[in-house]
Structure 1
């Protein structure tokens, strides 16, 4: 029989995005500290690399089941949180059924940590929620995070001593959340992918974030006066001997996929060789080519459709799936009727929802009934596709990255 864990602290990861090229430090360290540490995640554990594309989320699910106690849902991998194994450890205060208003997940997890009764809940920011593909969030909605947290606090304040939130809203949004909810002790931040990790103190609340992509974590420990908090990187390790059988088998599966992802695609073109990928440069070149080659009235692409990564001399299959992990198709899409004569308003709307854009031509035509874009933008923010362009985004990117003067 497994003895009860005497918990002393909380360790939080965020935005791992299936980044398992060097997963051993994360797996080994979280396993080593787990006897005295509640292990949590702030969302987007799934999706973002070839390991997800080839493994279909099974690796991520096994890691979460084997190591984690409580997790927040993120916009990436939203559907996986309805898998019974993942749903069992998911909490969220503000994700509800659109028709009934009933919570989609447990609103609260409580644990005794360092002698205190600690409430752990989570929120998803509105921008993050609306970036979930439409078909995945159909029938769901989110309520205002601060109000949702106040409601949970009122319902359970007599049961706990401290409040901890796993947020998938962004660091700046979490600073505002801390100001609005002064009863919170710690907010573990996620979603933003910024260089701001904290900790930042807002009143009596600490806001901090672990390094994304499985590089690091945030730590919080209750103390008599207030919580102590810090961030850290996972320490390097090379041996798998410390892993239990379940995690060792997961690591073996990661290694098997790594071999497949290492297969070469072709030499990298000179403008992109030997450097961190400039997403805007690549999308700009792609938009220009698509506008000319396919005769589209306009091409509109969002930078967040791509991920940046270090490129060497040869493009591998893994590089390609890391750069374009979402399997987007290029499609011709209807522009909403109210925006067809307002290209500036169209770009402002898309940028607010989907992040920085690349558009061609510049400026856009004054009247724009259709645009060539990704199926994600077409179905989430435009009026759907008219027809497919017959090309996946990944194929178009591969042509640019592996052509030109290689020597």
Structure 2
């Protein structure tokens, strides 16, 4: 290679079954000498993660990647690595793990030697950090990723021999563009976190670039010390063929198909989108919690539901379970909705009354109550989102 080739993935979200073609391409690029980095959220977000408990994803990262930046869905898995000695370095300048973390965690990193020599500075955005459930971020020490902090890491890498220093950000494409418009200390930033239709922004030699999410593709960057970088997205279909034995995943995917194929029940009609599921689920959860109103964050759901619901389809729909809780004091539903929107959530409500302006007894999820700072207690009897959805889909005879 005339330049250092950097291959980047982001927001993979445990998409192993549909992402095998992407993983095969990463393997091939690595064999050709490319450096491979993930920009966060490699773990979590679908039924496969529930099946594998992150172990398959950990193995893939250990085999294929030179470094990764932590995303908001990664912390729990990073804290339970089965083989931390084989795991690639975790790179994040503004987040420090608890002492119990078994792997290698650094603020910035010189990647394995190529010409030109590449350094990366990883960082996690504040909004992304605040979406992490408190139990998962307990013990982590976070500071905002300021320009001064990033510049200090950049200068250290340059002093250690880096020819090119890039940012790998789990902050969101639009936020990274705003940083660049205000003179961010790194002229090239790889974005992660917010799924968006934008993949490349450029202005006056500055760039924000992003890879396709959820195993749909990868980003190739030809890094040049003069700043004349090249960028290319490579995309794949979930049905793309992977040569047998290439990735060693046949056995585990066969087991996953059996596990996920268990039939849980049926719906009266399919719910095509996660918005359709949210409206039905919010009403069922309000009834289960015996409340006047229920507020659900749409981010708890990731897909619609077929009429015949299997374990895989249910967990693909609700990959992030949460307890149902009753808020200790009464609030107007519209006030709770407005507070959730200010935090960047997309809330959906179910109420007994036509108006949400009067104070009433509200239930929600433990996640959203914690984000909103609302004192709450568990629903009686205890119940979770998945419990509620499972009860909804089960046929009477099941």
**TM-score > 0.5 by shorter chain:** yes
Alignment of 1:388 with 2:391, yes or no, is: no
Report the counterpart of residue 117 of structure 1 in structure 2: 117
> SS state of the match for residue 270, structure 1?
coil
> SS state of the match for residue 346, structure 1?
helix
Report the counterpart of residue 214 of structure 1 in structure 2: 215
Distance 1:331 1:155, change over 3 A: same
Normalising by structure 1, we get a TM-score of 0.84
Alignment of 1:25 with 2:21, yes or no, is: yes
Distance 1:269 1:208, change over 3 A: farther
Higher mean alpha-carbon deviation, 85-94 vs 184-193, is at: 85-94
Alignment of 1:326 with 2:329, yes or no, is: no
Match of 1:367 among 359, 371, 376: 359
Report the counterpart of residue 142 of structure 2 in structure 1: 142
CA RMSD, aligned part only? Answer: 2.9
Whether the 8 Å contact between 1:24 and 1:240 is mirrored in structure 2 is no
> SS state of the match for residue 189, structure 1?
strand
Report the counterpart of residue 254 of structure 1 in structure 2: 253
Structure 1 Cα separation of the partners of residues 326 and 331 of structure 2: 18
Deviation of residue 292 (structure 1)? 4.6
Structure 2 Cα separation of the partners of residues 301 and 317 of structure 1: 22
Alignment of 1:167 with 2:169, yes or no, is: yes
Report the counterpart of residue 299 of structure 2 in structure 1: 304
Structure 1 Cα separation of the partners of residues 180 and 250 of structure 2: 38
Deviation of residue 116 (structure 1)? 1.2
Whether the 8 Å contact between 2:300 and 2:321 is mirrored in structure 1 is no
Distance 1:354 1:400, change over 3 A: farther
Deviations 1:39-95 (A, max 9, x none): 111111111112111211111111111111110101112122343358642100111
Higher mean alpha-carbon deviation, 256-265 vs 122-131, is at: 256-265
Structure 2 Cα separation of the partners of residues 241 and 54 of structure 1: 22
| Paired residue total | 381
Long gaps (5+) in structure 1: none
> SS state of the match for residue 121, structure 2?
strand
Kindly report which structure 2 residues correspond to 1:226-375, keeping only aligned pairs within 5 A, or say none. 226-234=228-236, 237-241=240-244, 243=246, 247-248=247-248, 250-272=249-271, 277-292=272-287, 294-309=289-304, 311-334=305-328, 344-353=334-343, 355-361=345-351, 363-364=355-356, 366-368=358-360, 370-375=361-366
Whether the 8 Å contact between 1:7 and 1:37 is mirrored in structure 2 is no
Distance 1:332 1:6, change over 3 A: farther
Deviation of residue 205 (structure 1)? 2.1
Deviation of residue 285 (structure 1)? 2.3
Whether the 8 Å contact between 2:6 and 2:221 is mirrored in structure 1 is yes
Deviations 1:25-46 (A, max 9, x none): 1221111110321111111111
Structure 1 Cα separation of the partners of residues 375 and 3 of structure 2: 50
Deviation of residue 294 (structure 1)? 4.4
Whether the 8 Å contact between 1:16 and 1:212 is mirrored in structure 2 is yes
Deviation of residue 108 (structure 1)? 1.2
Deviation of residue 385 (structure 1)? 3.4
Report the counterpart of residue 95 of structure 1 in structure 2: 95
Report the counterpart of residue 376 of structure 1 in structure 2: 367
Report the counterpart of residue 62 of structure 1 in structure 2: 59
Structure 1 Cα separation of the partners of residues 143 and 227 of structure 2: 33
Report the counterpart of residue 75 of structure 1 in structure 2: 72
Deviations 1:277-324 (A, max 9, x none): 322222222323443564303211100010025x54522210001000
Whether the 8 Å contact between 1:303 and 1:357 is mirrored in structure 2 is yes
Structure 2 Cα separation of the partners of residues 324 and 86 of structure 1: 31
Whether the 8 Å contact between 1:7 and 1:38 is mirrored in structure 2 is no
